[in-house]
A and B are shown apart, each in its own frame.
Chain A
C-alpha cells in the first residue's frame, strides 16, 4: 500500500518556466512533509519541508504548497534551471517519529 504517491514518473520543462511536481498521500496522520532532490550516483539531498500547520513554505526558487483537505502537496520551481534536472522525491512523517515514507519519485528534465 503506497501511502505517498507521485503519479508523474517524469516531467519536461523549458528553462525559465515553472516546474510543478505533485505528490499525494493517503495517511491522514502524516503531519510533516519534505522534498528531496537526487542526482545520478548520489544520495538524495534535502530541499525543502513543510509542517501540516502551514499551507506554504518558500525558499528562494522553491515553494512547497500543502492542501490538507485534498491530501496533496506540490513543489514549484521558478524559474527552472538546467541544474534542476534530477529525480525529486516527496516524503512524509507522522508525530514525533523521524522515519520517512517516500514517494516513487518524479524525474525532472529542464531543457534549454
Chain B
C-alpha cells in the first residue's frame, strides 16, 4: 500500500542511549516532516525537509538531528535520549499544502 512507513513502532531507551527513527514514503512527495505528539500539546514540528537535500528546524528541534537520505527517506536521530523525549513520533510527507500531509502510524518512544 502506498503511504508513509515508520520503524520501529515501539521503543524503550535508557537515558543517554541513542537511536534513529526511520521513515520512508513511496508517493514521490518532495516534503517530509517529523512531529511529536504529547498530551495537551498537540502535534509539534521537530524538523522538516522541503525538498531532497534540505532540512530545517521546526518548533522543538533541541536534542534531535535529521537526515534526508534521498527523496524517499527522512530519519530522525536522538543522540542522547532524555526522559523529556518520551513521546509519540510521527513522520509525514506532502506534495503541497493543498492536499495536506500523509502521516505514518507513529513510533511510541519511552525513555527511562
Contact = CB atoms under 8 A, between A and B. Distances in A.
Interface in A62-112: 89, 91, 93, 96-105
Interface stretch (B13-21, B35-43, B64-72, B75-83): B35-43
A51 to B, nearest CB: 8
A43 B4 contact: yes
B50 interface: yes
A59 interface: no
Given A42-B105, A102-B42, A104-B42, A34 B90 contact: no
A44 B106 CA distance: 9
Contact of A99 (B4, B48, B102, B106): B48
B97 A44 contact: no
Interface of B: 4, 31, 33, 35, 40-45, 48, 50, 58-59, 90, 92, 94, 96-106
16 contacts: A6-B42, A9-B40, A42-B106, A43-B103, A44-B43, A44-B101, A44-B103, A45-B103, A49-B98, A49-B100, A99-B58, A100-B100, A102-B35, A102-B43, A103-B42, A104-B41
Nearest to B90: A43
Given A41-B105, A44-B90, A98 B31 contact: yes
Contact of A46 (B35, B90, B96, B101): B101
Contacts of A9: 40
A34 B40 CA distance: 19
Interface string A30-52: 00101010000111111001000
B100 to A, nearest CB: 4
A43 B102 CA distance: 8
Contact of B97 (A36, A89, A98, A105): A98
Interface in A1-57: 4, 6, 9, 32, 34, 36, 41-46, 49
Contacts of A93: 97
A46 B99 contact: yes
A84 to B, nearest CB: 18
Contact of B101 (A4, A100, A103, A105): A100
